């Protein structure tokens, strides 16, 4: 069984890509940057107490599921979001939705997605994909970070949906139920920008938003004192990986957001947003430079105090820059 | 990032090409955003291969320890599946305290057939691979 007319589109980020794919199926055509921006996907968080394989977690995006929910709400789309305690029930619900002709978005763990190159397959539980049919024992999968559609065995999909660890997907699946033909796009854009400004500027310190960037900057400076060189290099490497996490090219979603601001400038007829987009591109480039410098420090592995100090300083400057940016952006909408 | 600055560095990990063609938002000559495709760049490749080096080391060390009789095969397969104690415990559905015992050779010996089967299923292996450890 295969849902006809479902169109696969490769995207930079999994959740904005899944949201795009699902909405597009119901005739709502929005670009990925618009979805990312309206969904307020831009974020920063550093959580030293949440460790994945002993390495503290860093994120450049909002928590899984947020973008889809927010975009649907803003566009007046009724959606269904479900989690399951039992695997069987979770798989039955998926089959029922597909049977009803609805493509389904799901949160999964990359570890069990056999179509990824092996080196990518870590226990990363925040990955989103769409199922748009089932043939025999295989689900037809549209994974937005892949170039083309793919397949996944029912056994693998079940494991991926019910993976444990942080954040546990618990079989989470979601799909639009009813769409509205008319929605206020400019208003949704404005509200998305405001929300991101709030996340970045007003999240409680020290872990999130610009506070989080500064916090990580201070932490990095202490890595060579507190950790052995090898661990320190691993910690820094993880920041790069999260920044690069599938399709961001070293900007940690900053380029995607700059593209959003450019589109927003058109929809809101606001040239100041164009200037903001340029600054966001430069901020993305600065993050890219940070990744370059971090890679150098990682390669060196000597635990040189001065080089870690430099990395920390770069982050503290980025925090200042993003603070200035969002304080200004807030006044534009 | 400008389109002409997009890197194309293949991701070679474990001696194999692990590149994934990805979408990237870049600016054209007029500064307008568009998408392009790329395979990766050195900084992220390095970070990923470093993470794998660390994992490979840990797996190899744990394997030695199993052979020396210091830890149980479960400890080895835990590392091999990139899990840590809290993750494994949540898969087993029991307290870390108990799972920790099963990581020791003496605790491992006391496991009954059902428990062994449970671990084997989590690691996607046969029970014999746990009970007759070959690495």
Residues B35 and B52 grouped into a single domain: no
pLDDT value, residue A249: 60
Residues A133 and A270 grouped into a single domain: no
Please give the average per-residue pLDDT across B28-47, as a whole number: 89
Residues B120 and B86 grouped into a single domain: yes
Residues A172 and A198 grouped into a single domain: no
CATH number (domain holding residue B94): 1.10.260
Interface test with B, best of A146, A249, A251, A275 (most B CBs within 10 A): A249
* Domain end among A145, A178, A211: A178
pLDDT value, residue A256: 94
**Angle of helix A229-244 versus helix B42-67 axis, rounded to 10:** 130
The pLDDT > 90 percentage for chain B reads 67
Please give the average per-residue pLDDT across A28-48, as a whole number: 95
Closest by CA position to B48, among listed A222, A117, A61: A117
Residues B65 and B127 grouped into a single domain: yes
pLDDT value, residue A243: 86
Lowest mean pLDDT segment, chosen from A5-9, A173-177, B2-6, B97-101: B2-6
Kindly identify which residue of chain A lies nearest to residue B33, measuring between CA atoms: A259
Q: How many CB atoms lie within 10 A of CB B5?
A: 11
Please give the average per-residue pLDDT across B109-134, as a whole number: 93
Q: How far is CA A71 from CA A65, A77, B101, in A?
A: 10, 8, 47
Please give the average per-residue pLDDT across A35-58, as a whole number: 90
Residues A311 and A220 grouped into a single domain: yes
Rg (CA), chain A: 20
pLDDT value, residue A330: 95
Residues B28 and B50 grouped into a single domain: no
- A-B CB pairs within 8 A amount to 127
Domain range for B18: 3-40
Residues B67 and B115 grouped into a single domain: yes
Which residues in chain B have their CB less than 8 angstroms from residue A287's CB?
Answer: none
Residues B56 and B119 grouped into a single domain: yes
Residues A18 and A150 grouped into a single domain: yes
pLDDT tens figures, B66-83:
999 999 999 999 999 999
Q: Which among A247, A251, A258 is the nearest to B22, CB-wise?
A: A247
> Structurally, how many domains does chain B consist of?
2
pLDDT band at A130 (very low <50, low <70, confident <90, very high): very high
Residues B75 and B51 grouped into a single domain: yes
* Domain end among A178, A202, A219: A178
Residues B90 and B121 grouped into a single domain: yes
Mean of all residue pLDDT scores within chain B: 92
Contact A249/B26, CB-based, under 8 Å? yes
Contact B43/A292, CB-based, under 8 Å? yes
Residues A150 and A22 grouped into a single domain: yes
CATH number (domain holding residue A152): 3.90.70.10
Residues B35 and B87 grouped into a single domain: no
Please give the average per-residue pLDDT across A276-288, as a whole number: 95
Burial class (CB in 10 A: 0-12, 13-18, 19+), B45: buried
> Structurally, how many domains does chain A consist of?
2
pLDDT tens figures, A233-279:
999 999 998 887 665 666 779 999 999 999 999 999 999 999 999 99
The verdict on residue A115 lying in a domain is yes
The pLDDT > 90 percentage for chain A reads 78
Residues A129 and A228 grouped into a single domain: no
Residues A319 and A207 grouped into a single domain: yes
pLDDT(A52) > 80? no
pLDDT tens figures, A135-193:
999 999 999 999 999 999 999 999 999 999 878 899 999 999 999 888 999 999 999 99
Residues B11 and B64 grouped into a single domain: no
Q: Which among B17, B32, B42 is the nearest to A262, CB-wise?
A: B32
Domain range for A109: 14-30+78-178
Residues A173 and A193 grouped into a single domain: no
Distance CA A175, CA A63 (A): 18
The verdict on residue A264 lying in a domain is yes
The verdict on residue A125 lying in a domain is yes
The verdict on residue A70 lying in a domain is no
Residue A246 near chain B (CB below 8 Å):
yes
Contact A12/B22, CB-based, under 8 Å? yes
CA B78 to chain CA centroid, Å, is 9
Kindly identify which residue of chain B lies nearest to residue A163, measuring between CA atoms: B91
Interface test with B, best of A164, A227, A252, A262 (most B CBs within 10 A): A164
Residue A86 near chain B (CB below 8 Å):
no
Please give the average per-residue pLDDT across A300-318, as a whole number: 87
Please give the average per-residue pLDDT across B11-39, as a whole number: 89
Distance CA B35, CA A147 (A): 13
Residue A192 or residue A231, greater confidence = A192
Interface ipTM:
0.90
């Amino acid at each position: 069984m295969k849902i006809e007319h479902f169109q696969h589109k490769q995207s930079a980020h999994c959740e904005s890509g899944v949201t795009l794919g699902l909405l597009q199926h119901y005739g709502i055509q929005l670009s990925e940057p618009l979805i990312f921006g309206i969904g307020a996907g831009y974020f920063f968080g550093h959580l030293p107490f949440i460790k994945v394989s002993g390495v503290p977690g860093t994120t450049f995006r909002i928590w899984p599921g947020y973008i889809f929910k927010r975009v649907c709400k803003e566009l007046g789309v009724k959606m269904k979001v479900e989690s399951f305690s039992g695997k069987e029930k979770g798989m039955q619900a998926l089959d029922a939705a597909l049977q009803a002709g609805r493509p389904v978005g799901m949160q999964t763990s990359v570890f069990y997605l056999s179509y990824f190159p092996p080196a990518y397959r870590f226990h990363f539980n925040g990955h989103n994909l769409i199922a748009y049919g089932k043939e025999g024992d295989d689900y037809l999968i549209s994974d937005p970070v892949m170039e083309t559609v793919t397949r996944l065995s029912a056994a693998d999909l079940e494991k991926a949906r019910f993976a444990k660890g942080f954040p546990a997907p618990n079989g989470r699946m979601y799909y639009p139920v009813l769409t509205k033909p008319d929605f206020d796009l400019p208003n949704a854009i404005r509200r998305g920008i405001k929300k991101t400004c709030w996340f970045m500027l007003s999240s409680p310190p020290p872990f999130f938003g610009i506070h989080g960037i500064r916090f990580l900057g201070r932490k990095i400076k202490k890595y060579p004192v507190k950790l052995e060189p090898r661990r320190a290099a691993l910690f820094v490497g993880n920041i790069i990986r999260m920044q690069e996490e599938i399709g961001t090219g070293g900007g940690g979603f900053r380029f995607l957001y700059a593209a959003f601001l450019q589109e927003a400038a058109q929809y809101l007829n606001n040239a100041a947003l164009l200037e903001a987009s340029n600054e966001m591109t430069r901020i993305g480039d600065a993050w890219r430079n940070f990744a370059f410098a971090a890679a150098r420090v990682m390669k060196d592995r000597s635990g040189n105090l001065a080089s870690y100090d430099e990395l920390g300083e770069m982050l503290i400057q980025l925090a200042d820059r993003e603070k200035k940016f969002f304080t200004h952006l807030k006044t534009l909408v | 990032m400008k389109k002409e600055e997009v890197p194309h560095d293949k991701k070679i990990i474990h001696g194999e090409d692990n590149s994934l063609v990805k979408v990237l938002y870049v600016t054209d000559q007029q500064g307008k955003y568009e998408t392009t495709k790329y395979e990766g760049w050195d900084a992220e490749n390095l970070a990923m291969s470093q993470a794998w080096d660390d994992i490979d080391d840990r797996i190899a060390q744990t394997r030695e320890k199993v052979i020396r009789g210091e830890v149980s095969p479960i400890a080895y397969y835990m590392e091999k599946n990139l899990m840590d104690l809290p993750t494994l415990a949540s898969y087993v559905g029991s307290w870390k305290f108990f799972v920790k015992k099963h990581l020791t050779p003496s605790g491992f010996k006391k496991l009954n057939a059902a428990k062994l089967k449970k671990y084997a299923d989590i690691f996607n292996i046969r029970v014999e691979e746990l009970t007759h450890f070959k690495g």
